[in-house]
Amino acid sequence: MNANNFFTSAYGVRIPWIIYGTAWKRDSTAALVEQAISLGFRGIDTACQPKHYNEAGVGEGVAAGQKFGIDRSELYLQSKFTPLTGQDPAQVPYDAKAGLSEQVAQSFQTSLKNLQTTYLDCLVLHSTLASQAQTMEVWRAMEQIFDNGAAKQLGISNCYDPQQLEFLYRNAKVKPAVIQNRFYADTKYDRTIRDFCQQQQIIYQSFWTLTANSKVLAHDTFQALAAKYQRSVAQLFFRYLNQINIIPLTGTTSQTHMREDLAILDFELTTDECEAIKTLL
């Protein structure tokens, strides 16, 4: 990726226009992360949640990527603190009986060890907790990690209530730089949240982007654009999202699709074409 292939967050952190997602890769995680880096991905998303992520495998893949001459400083590594409600009770990566602040600290140290790094480019809260007080207690612990320089910025995921996001933003000392949500019709594509993000310089990341939108991608509008640009509908959708300032995650295991995903900046949709797609969402 060249210098033009990045967003810059409110905290001055460069985030690639597309990020490789590592959920559900299990024993294939290391090989897939290595392959993604070798092909050109510079953003990797994971979580300290053994239930769905092999975070240590991500670290192995990142370490293997060094043989391609890719320094850690060239990568955007993003991981998450997952509250107990999102963990498998048999695989909790921190002391489940500890207080929330200690859980955050332990989880973060586990992430650093797993990823073989001394810092994260972004530490994300995987989901809000049962109460606002608990959410803020966790966020304060994340702010401490930020203040110590071990995380360059903070983010929130799976936050679909605009009031929850606004509460967090108002009360946080370190404002969320990133929100990562499912991008699908059930939440009306987070229009209200995305408007708030635009106003507050919060970068919106989308996941479940292709799987949840199969009907949209089958629409005649996408089929016509695919024929015009000689691109896949996935490339067109990802390109559209980039043009409206959304960073998509892709979790593909296909080398061909990885190459296609990285090529989305090789063309540009017109304003009219973007408006046509907008009507579908």
Query: How high is the mean pLDDT of the chain?
Result: 96
In a domain, 175, yes or no: yes
In a domain, 155, yes or no: yes
> What are the structure tokens assigned to 245, written together?
């300032």
- Name the domain count of the chain: 1
pLDDT at residue 261 is higher than 80 = yes
CA distances from 60 to 29, 31, 54, 88, 94 (A): 9, 8, 10, 23, 21
CATH number at residue 12: 3.20.20.100
Domain around 151: 6-212+241-253
In a domain, 258, yes or no: no
pLDDT over 70 for what percent of the chain? 99
pLDDT in tens, 155-179: 999 999 999 999 999 999 999 999 9
Q: What is the CA radius of gyration of the chain?
A: 18
In a domain, 225, yes or no: no
In a domain, 179, yes or no: yes
Per 3-state DSSP, the chain is made up of helix, strand and coil in percentages (nearest 5) of: 50, 15, 35
Note the pLDDT of residue 67: 86
Average pLDDT over residues 259-279: 96
Note the pLDDT of residue 5: 81
In a domain, 104, yes or no: yes
Average pLDDT over residues 102-123: 98
Average pLDDT over residues 185-197: 97
User: Is residue 12 exposed (0-12), middle (13-18) or buried (19+ Cβ within 10 Å)?
Assistant: exposed
Note the pLDDT of residue 1: 46
Average pLDDT over residues 37-64: 97
Instruction: Indicate the length of the chain as a whole number.
Output: 281
Measured distance CA(78)–CA(46) in Å, rounded: 6
In a domain, 270, yes or no: no
Measured distance CA(205)–CA(202) in Å, rounded: 10
Q: Which residues contact 193 (CB under 8 A, 6 or more apart)?
A: 159, 160, 162, 165, 179, 181, 204
Note the pLDDT of residue 126: 98
Note the pLDDT of residue 144: 98
pLDDT band for 32, please (50, 70, 90 cuts): very high
Q: Which residues contact 59 (CB under 8 A, 6 or more apart)?
A: 113, 114, 115, 116, 117
70: left (phi over 0), alpha (psi -120 to 50) or beta: beta
Note the pLDDT of residue 81: 98
pLDDT in tens, 126-148: 999 999 999 999 999 999 999 99
Measured distance CA(240)–CA(82) in Å, rounded: 30
pLDDT band for 66, please (50, 70, 90 cuts): confident
Amino acid, res. 164 = Q
pLDDT band for 268, please (50, 70, 90 cuts): very high
Cβ neighbours of 215 (radius 10 Å): 9
Note the pLDDT of residue 68: 87
Give start and end residues of each alpha helix (H) in 24-161.
29-39, 55-64, 100-115, 132-147
pLDDT over 90 for what percent of the chain? 97
pLDDT at residue 281 is higher than 90 = yes
Measured distance CA(207)–CA(209) in Å, rounded: 5
Note the pLDDT of residue 58: 98
CA distances from 211 to 215, 223, 280 (A): 9, 17, 16
In a domain, 228, yes or no: no
Measured distance CA(209)–CA(117) in Å, rounded: 29
